[in-house]
Amino acid sequence: MPDEPAPFWRSKSMGEMSKTEWESLCDGCGRCCLNKLIDEDTHQTVFTDVGCKLLDGQSCRCTDYAHRQARVRDCVRLTPRNVRRLSWLPPTCGYRLVAEGRELYWWHPLVSGDPETVHAAGVSVRGRVSASEKDVPDAKLEEYIVSWPGKVPKGAKAKRK
């Protein structure tokens, strides 16, 4: 039985990936679409559980992905160049993992073949977004600081068979 070829995320550099391959690195968790703040004392990025105005908290996807940057002033478009510099990408992020030469988790849709496993593993923001930025003034964002988006959930670590 011949060896199967390595998946594209292991055999290609990020810059060599097609647009479709690049987009498929997104696991659909929605964590990067949560509002973030910079801690004035530590200069560390902290997450809130307030979603971008375009985040659908159920699907964990952008409601206007094609026009997101025109509609959201500080929306960051991930590129092979900037993904390595963005310290706020969650530790579970497919882009971050591939950029660091690490394996994708078992629940990533490219590995599992199922876009629902990111939710089943407790990685996504589904059911965890407490408000939309439309409803929370910037001055109140500190009241919504949470730590979970910067962590790998316990259930996400274990390999499933």
Smallest CA-to-CA distance from 109 within 26, 33, 31, 32 is with 26
Structural domain including 48 reads 8-151
Does some domain include residue 86? yes
Does some domain include residue 113? yes
Tell me the C-alpha distance between 61 and 10, whole Å: 25
Does some domain include residue 161? no
Write out the H or E segment, with its range, that includes residue 119.
helix 117-120
Smallest CA-to-CA distance from 131 within 23, 65, 52, 67 is with 52
The vertex-130 CA angle with 141 and 79, nearest 5°, equals 70
Which pTM was predicted? 0.91
Does some domain include residue 121? yes
Does some domain include residue 130? yes
119 with 40: CB under 8 angstroms?
no
E strands in 19-153: 34-38, 45-51, 55-56, 61-62, 131-132, 145-146
Does some domain include residue 159? no
Does some domain include residue 157? no
pLDDT band at 3 (very low <50, low <70, confident <90, very high): confident
The pLDDT > 70 percentage for the chain reads 96
Does some domain include residue 158? no
pLDDT digits (tens, 9 = 90+) for 86-106: 999 999 999 999 999 999 999
Whole-number average pLDDT of the chain = 93
Q: Is the pLDDT of residue 160 over 70?
A: no
Q: Could you give the number of structural domains in the chain?
A: 1
Q: Is the pLDDT of residue 159 over 70?
A: no
